[in-house]
Amino acid sequence: MAKPLKDHAAIERTVTSALADQPIIDMHTHLYPPTFGSAGGANPDPAGLMLWGVDELITYHYLVAEVYRVVPATELPYERFWAMSKAEQADHIWKHLFVGRSPISESCRGVLTTLQLLGLDTSDRSLVGFRKYFAQQDPSGYIDTVMEKSNVESITMTNAVFDDPERETWLTNPKAGDDPRFTGVLRFDPLLRDWPGAAGRLAEWGYAVGEDLSGETIEEGRRFLREWIDRVRTIYCAVSLGPEFRYPADGDDATARAGQKVLEQVVLPVCAERGLPFAMMIGAKRRELVNPGLGDAGDTVGKSDVQSVINLCREFPENRFFCTMLARENQHELTVAARKFGNLMVFGCWWFLNNPSLVEEMTRMRTELLGVSYIPQHSDARVLDQLIYKWDHSRRVIGKVLTDKYADLAGTGWAVSGEDVARDVRLLLRDNFATFVTG
Ligand code: FIX
Ligand code: ZN
From ligand 1's centre to the CA of 424, what distance in Å?
A: 28
pLDDT at 81: 98
Task: State pLDDT tens for residues 286-341.
Answer: 999 999 999 999 999 999 999 999 999 999 999 999 999 999 999 999 999 999 99
Q: Work out the mean pLDDT of the chain and round it to a whole number.
A: 97
From ligand 2's centre to the CA of 381, what distance in Å?
A: 7
Residue of 64, 240, 393 to test ligand 1 pocket, by largest number of atoms within 8 Å of CB: 240
From ligand 2's centre to the CA of 12, what distance in Å?
A: 31
Q: Is the CB of 239 within 6 Å of ligand 1? A: no
pLDDT at 1: 64
* Residue 251 located in a structural domain: yes
Q: Using the atom order of ligand 1, give the atom closest to the CA of residue 380.
A: 13
Nearest to 161 by CA among 203, 193, 191: 191
* Residue 432 located in a structural domain: yes
pLDDT at 4: 86
Task: State pLDDT tens for residues 345-397.
Answer: 999 999 999 999 999 999 999 999 999 999 999 999 999 999 999 999 999 99
Looking at the 3D structure of the chain, how many domains does it have?
A: 1
State yes or no: pLDDT of 6 exceeds 90: no
Distance CA 401, CA 393 (A): 13
Q: Is the CB of 351 within 6 Å of ligand 1? A: yes
Q: Using the atom order of ligand 1, give the atom closest to the CA of residue 61.
A: 9
State yes or no: pLDDT of 252 exceeds 80: yes
CA 13 to chain centre: 29
Which ligand sits closest to the CA of 187? Answer: 1
Q: Is the CB of 178 within 6 Å of ligand 1? A: no
pLDDT at 235: 98
From ligand 2's centre to the CA of 415, what distance in Å?
A: 39
* Residue 69 located in a structural domain: no
Q: Is the CB of 271 within 6 Å of ligand 1? A: no
* Residue 310 located in a structural domain: yes
**Largest Cα span, the chain:** 68
Question: Which residue range forms the structural domain that includes residue 277?
Answer: 8-46+152-438
User: 300 — phi, psi (to 5°)?
Assistant: -135, -170
Q: Is the CB of 240 within 6 Å of ligand 1? A: yes
Q: What is the CATH number of the domain that holds 182?
A: 3.20.20.140
Q: Strands, E, within 118-201: which ranges?
A: 152-156, 159-160, 182-187
Distance CA 305, CA 416 (A): 38
